[in-house]
Amino acid sequence: MPAFEYKVVPAPAKGTKAKGVKTPEARFANSVEITLNEMAAEGWEYLRAELLPSEERSGLTSSTTNWRNVLIFRRALAEEDAQVEEPQVQAPMVEPVSEGMEPPVDPEPERLPERPALRAEPLLTVEEDEIAFAGDPSAEPSVSPVPGPGAVRMLKDDGVEEVSPVAGLTAALRNRANQKSDDS
């Protein structure tokens, strides 16, 4: 299964004027079209638009919830090269031998350090039905949680946050929506 990276951009808030585009609806559609084409030119595939809550400060002590429209894009991650480059050894400079002189003899040729042998067997052997990705709500409690491919990539990363793909509403959003409906 290919891995994807995701990008979320704010949806256009107002229309863009263009030749032949007269109505506000057409101008707004033109803005969305421009945004989609710009992202596609950078290699991003449009997934969907979302309306998400954004809790923001209002004054010194209160906060309000503003609903934001965002566009979600994805693109496939490039496969990491599994091949390791061999270090290249440069030949020593050779001076031309003039007549009557013998070339110098190198007492010991330079040797490359040996590479450590790689293990052929896996470090962990478990049946596939005994493991589940960490955070999987459909997993049985008896299975061992293991980090998913995104988490493994994140641990190898240089500190940039990894965004995991999210399908549907997350539990946090459902809880927040229920909390808001109870407050009303």
pLDDT attached to residue 46: 93
**Nearest to 113, CA basis, from 147, 86, 74:** 86
Say how far apart CA 158 and CA 180 lie, in whole Å: 38
Q: What is the extent of the structural domain holding 137?
A: 123-158
Evaluate whether residue 64 is within a structural domain: yes
Evaluate whether residue 171 is within a structural domain: no
58 and 129, same structural domain? no
73 and 18, same structural domain? yes
Say how far apart CA 20 and CA 18 lie, in whole Å: 6
User: How do residues 8-67 score in pLDDT, each as one tens digit?
Assistant: 999 999 998 888 999 999 999 999 999 999 999 999 999 999 999 999 998 889 999 999
Evaluate whether residue 182 is within a structural domain: no
Evaluate whether residue 28 is within a structural domain: yes
Supply the pTM of this predicted model: 0.41
Stretch (H or E) spanning 155? helix 149-156
Give the list of residues 6+ apart from residue 163 with CB closer than 8 angstroms, or none: 5, 6
Instruction: Give the mean pLDDT of 73-85.
Output: 65
User: How do residues 95-152 score in pLDDT, each as one tens digit?
Assistant: 665 666 666 666 666 666 666 665 555 555 556 556 666 666 666 777 766 666 666 6
Q: How confident is the model at residue 78 (pLDDT cuts 50, 70, 90)?
A: confident
Evaluate whether residue 178 is within a structural domain: no
Evaluate whether residue 144 is within a structural domain: yes
pLDDT attached to residue 65: 93
Q: Is the pLDDT of residue 82 over 50?
A: no
70 and 136, same structural domain? no
Determine the distance from the C-alpha atom of residue 59 to the mean position of all C-alpha atoms in its chain, rounded to a whole number: 36
Number of domains in the chain: 2
Decide which of 57, 77, 97 is a domain's last residue.
Answer: 77
